[in-house]
Amino acid sequence: MHLPTWGDEVSGANEKIGGIVEIRPSLLAADFSRLADHAREALAAGAHALHADIMDGQFVPPITYGANVVKSVVDATGAVVDAHLMIVDPEKQVKAFADAGVRGVTVHIEATPHLHRLLGMIRDAGLEAGVAINPATPLGDSLQYIMPLLDRVLVMSVNPGWGGQSFIENSLEKIRFVAAQLKAAGSTASIQVDGGVIPANAGDLVRAGATELVAGSAVFKGDVAANISALRDAVSAALSA
């Protein structure tokens, strides 16, 4: 089996283009004084799931929230939540987030020297296992050896740490490359994109192969229902083109 390398042709959408593309609002941009209500508002407007950005002040500068807050959102909304761990020693937190009721845990390829073992630990906890890739991290054949353990690949389209950043344009090339590698391996893993996702680029992301769009400010700042409708319209236009 030949997996595409960075020099190979990676243009074209992946095989999932005709399926559902999920919009997953990031709780990082929600109003924390009414977190559950804001989350319910997004779900009622058509969001498919919620995304929890966990930051520890070490792997990235900010500190956000932990498993107890995520559990409160899961309990209050009944939503599917995936936890994105931007932390050092992510191995130590898998059980806590499993107990919090998340559906999946995504860890950074840059955060652990034992990625294969960690993804297996996440799977053994009954969760979807994901790997996140920072903008400057080269891919090469790094996915090849963990492909059987992957349920999700998260392409960071901003440098992790803060919401509201602008989309890094060459992330589209990385999404196409990941899509080509997954297709070549026969993997059904989702391709999630997080960072600077807005209606204006949502169509390009879908055409590149993204199947899950994480949006924070683009959902929770202003009219949540109208914001999600704009994202859904952009996705629908890309899928029907």
Question: What radius of gyration, in Å, describes the C-alpha atoms of the chain?
Answer: 17
Name 64's Cβ contacts closer than 8 Å, sequence gap at least 6: 28, 53, 54, 55
Annotation marks residue 194 as catalytic: yes
Active site residue 53: yes
CA 216 to chain centre: 12
Q: In this structure, is the dihedral angle defined by the CA atoms of residues 36, 167, 58 and 122, taken in order, positive or negative?
A: positive
The CA–CA distances, whole Å, from 181 to 94, 152, 187, 188, 224 equal: 27, 13, 8, 11, 35
The angle, 0 to 180 degrees and rounded to 10, between the axes of the packed helices 199-208 and 171-185 is 30
Q: Considering 53, 56, 82, 151, which one is annotated as catalytic? A: 53
Please tell me which residue in 89, 194, 204, 233 is annotated as part of the active site: 194
- Annotated catalytic residues are 53, 194
